[in-house]
Each structure stands twice: as structure tokens, then as C-alpha cells.
A and B are shown apart, each in its own frame.
Chain A
Amino acid sequence: MNKISIQTGGFDISAEVSLAHNNNSGLGAIVTFVGLVRDMDDEAMTKMTLEHYPGMTEKALQIIADQAKSRWKLGNITIIHRVGELQVNDQIVLVITSSKHRKSSFEACEFIIDYLKTQAPFWKKEHTKSGEKWVEIKDSDKLKLDNWN
């Protein structure tokens, strides 16, 4: 079973890896990606807020997980994304992929996060002492999708 969760609270990476593994003795590799709230380059961030589109977000992530499974032979996929108010150094997102050999897990994990960043309806806002600003999509994130087509 894949696990897809949109939540305000944090996540325990070790517990999620165990859950995804599920004692499946056929799996030889598990890859995890953890995205973090990074401080801004020019000014200290006081907090980050994350908004999403309930209903569409879950569907979009399920479609991305299904696409990954159609490209690679994978075990369980986990995608956890936090929303609400976050601080610098907080975990934002967790992607776990698993497979018999490592190559499929590495590739599928990168595929999932590349697609999540450009297809799933989440929006980040950075707050500083001088004000707040919606994060804008980077061209480099859009270009990463070309690698998969």
C-alpha cells in the first residue's frame, strides 16, 4: 500500500521507513528524500507557511505515485507533505521508495519529488521581519521534468 499524507505535524523518518518496508523480504533498497525549510540567502526567515488545495493535492500525489510504479518495479511508496506554519530547519516533505535493487528506488524518488514540485498544488510563503512573499516557481524545477520525457 502506498501512503500519501498531507499533515500539519512532523514525521518520524525511521518509523515511516519501517512502515514502507513492511518486512517485505524481496526489497533490497529503500531510498528516502527529506525536504527541509532552508533559511533565505539575503534575509532571515521568521517562518514559512504552506497552503494546499485539499482534495486535488491527494489526487495529484496519487497520480504521481502511480506513474512512478508504472515506470519502475517498486515496493510501497510513501509521500508525506506538511502544510501550515513551519520554521527554518523543519521537515517539509518525505518521499520513500523501495525496490529490489537501488537504481529503481533512486530514480523513482527523484522522479516523484521533481513531479511533486511542479504538479501538486502546494504554495509556500516566506515570512521575514520586513514582510511576506509567495515563493515563485524556479525555471530549473520546470526543466527537470524534461529529464523524464
Chain B
Amino acid sequence: MNVLYFASLKESLNMSSEEIKASSNMTTGELKLHLIQKHGVHHFPKNIICAVNHEVRNDLALLSDNDEVAFFPPVTGG
């Protein structure tokens, strides 16, 4: 699946996206754990938000390989 990063997370990882192979029945929380193990926990503070196909989801959402998953810090528009 395509995993997107935005704002401060994109800068700290030095990439805007990467391709991750989802194992069957992987949850958003498990994906985050995988990314923490790969990149380091300091990139993923507790307030990092996860969106699946443009909707914010908690750690329990089930993922499939076609999903677009994004991680980003709390938003600051307006």
C-alpha cells in the first residue's frame, strides 16, 4: 500500500510517501508499529494522526493493500 506523510513528519522522515506491503488483516496500529520499528519512534509522537482513504481512523482499522494510508501531525489550518 501507498503510505503518505505530511508536514513535520514528511520532513523528519525526509520522504513524502513509501510503498509498504500490508500483511493480511493488518490494522492501522500494526502498520504504525511497523513504521516505528523501521524509522524510529521519535518520528511518530503520540499525537500523530492516521487517515485511511481520506478518513481519520483509530489504531484498530483493518487495512487492505489498495488503501491509501496517510500519517500526519495535528492540523493547523484556518
Contacts and interface: CB of A to CB of B under 8 A. Distances in A.
Interface of A: 35, 50-53, 55-56, 59-60, 81, 92-93, 113, 116-125, 134-137
A32 to B, nearest CB: 14
Contacts of A137: 74-76
Contacts of A117: 75-78
A122 B75 contact: yes
A121 B75 contact: yes
Given A35-B78, A51-B6, A113-B78, A123 B70 contact: no
A83 B2 CA distance: 24
* Interface residues of A, dominant DSSP: mixed
A53 B10 CA distance: 12
A116 B77 contact: yes
A93 B7 contact: no
A13 B55 CA distance: 31
B78 A123 contact: no
Nearest to A137: B74
A131 to B, nearest CB: 13
